[in-house]
Structure 1
Amino acid sequence: MTGSALALYEWNLTLSAAFVVPLQVCEVAVRNGVVEAIEMVHGATWPWSNGFLRSLPRPRRSFDYNPEADLRSVAARQPTTGKVVADLKFAFWEQLFTAGQDSRLWNAHLRSSFPGIPASLPVPQARATAHSDLKAIRLLRNRIAHHEPIFSRNIADEYQRIHELIAWRSPVAAAWMDRKQEVTALIPLKP
């Protein structure tokens, strides 16, 4: 391995590690916002609510992620809603931002669960943006978790996407995360 390749590898490694803080804060912020909306409709025991389970998006293909199957599996082995929330996959939260949830959750509860969404952004557009952004964030998270390179990505855009979703839930949490993270300091150090 040449010196420049090793330097790029080391930068990628350090950057990947630095993304843990923003990714963790983002996942917790988003899932807490989603849980808040679900509880407004289905109550605190929503993981065991047949009405909620039946409302979940259906996969198009048998090998696609199935939020209902995931929730049923997790809820069968976890005794509390909090433990279910912590055990669900990131994809579960992403899938709750599909258009099918607009009338069930988001038309009435998106702005209260995510009060930092700009007032000028219509609810369907905000929900669609959240869905798209969560998919991109999940793919970044998976690349990092699988020790794949992220150096060819636009890191500033990746960070901004994460920051924006956190700010939609809580501008205070986004500002706190900004102070704790090291991603932005690493961007200009790319070899």
Structure 2
Amino acid sequence: MRSTAIHARKGRSGHWIFDDAFELGRDANWPPRLKQPYLDVSTAIGRVRRNGMPVSPDQVISELPFGFWHQMVSKRQSFLWPDLVAAFPNSPNRSQAAIHDPVVRLRTFRNRIGHHHRICSFDIAGRYADILTIAAYLDTDLSAWIDARSRVARLLGTRP
């Protein structure tokens, strides 16, 4: 993974998710709003331990909430963007907004569903397109894989 290579090139030990350089907001002097990514990682590590799994980068990453990824691409964490942009090799440009905007829309939509609010006024086809777009920015095969297996387009009537 590119973030691991960048982490190593900067002379940092361990895996980037454990944030030994305090870049994700672990420093006690940081304002609370900037500490959230570290709190998410700490919570994920706790879940991994409670599940009796080894505390490995893969296990921790699998336990991270969607909000963590939203924070990583937010304007508040813009200092991380030069390293994060490499995770989206198929993005049409290096603009943080190209990733941030659809992720914000998806998080809002996901939160509405999670809190059992009505979603009939949402552009559901647009949110599905956001999922496919972000997936394609990561890997074009991933986007095609999701679309081929999803029933969303058929339920929306955009595919037979």
Q: Same fold, TM exceeding 0.5?
A: yes
- Match of residue 132, structure 2, among 163, 170, 185: 163
Q: Does 1 or 2 have the higher relative contact order (CA < 8 Å, sep 6+)? A: 1
Q: Distance in 2 between matches of 1:128 and 1:83?
A: 29
- 1:1-191 matches, within 5 Å, as 36-43=1-8, 45-51=15-21, 54-56=22-24, 66-75=36-45, 78=48, 79-99=55-75, 101-104=77-80, 106-108=81-83, 110=85, 112-118=86-92, 121=93, 123=94, 125=95, 127-188=96-157
Offset of 1:148 from its aligned partner? 2.5
Q: State the distance in 2 between where 1:67 and 1:130 align.
A: 18
The TM-score normalised by the length of structure 1 is: 0.62
Q: For residue 51 of structure 2, what is the aligned residue in structure 1?
A: none
One-letter amino acid of the structure 1 residue matched with residue 23 of structure 2: S
Gapped regions of structure 2 (runs ≥ 5): 9-13, 49-54
TM superposition outliers: structure 1 runs of 4+ over 6 Å: none
**Alpha-carbon shift at residue 167 of structure 1 (Å):** 0.5
Stretches of structure 1 lacking an aligned partner (at least 5 in a row): 1-35
1:103, distance to aligned residue in structure 2 (A) = 4.8
User: Number of residue pairs matched?
Assistant: 143
CA RMSD of aligned residues (A): 2.8
Look up the equivalent residue of 1:115 and give its one-letter code.
P
For the 8 Å contact 1:47–1:72, the answer to whether it is kept is: no
**TM-score normalized by structure 2?**
0.73
SS of equivalent residue, structure 1 residue 50: coil
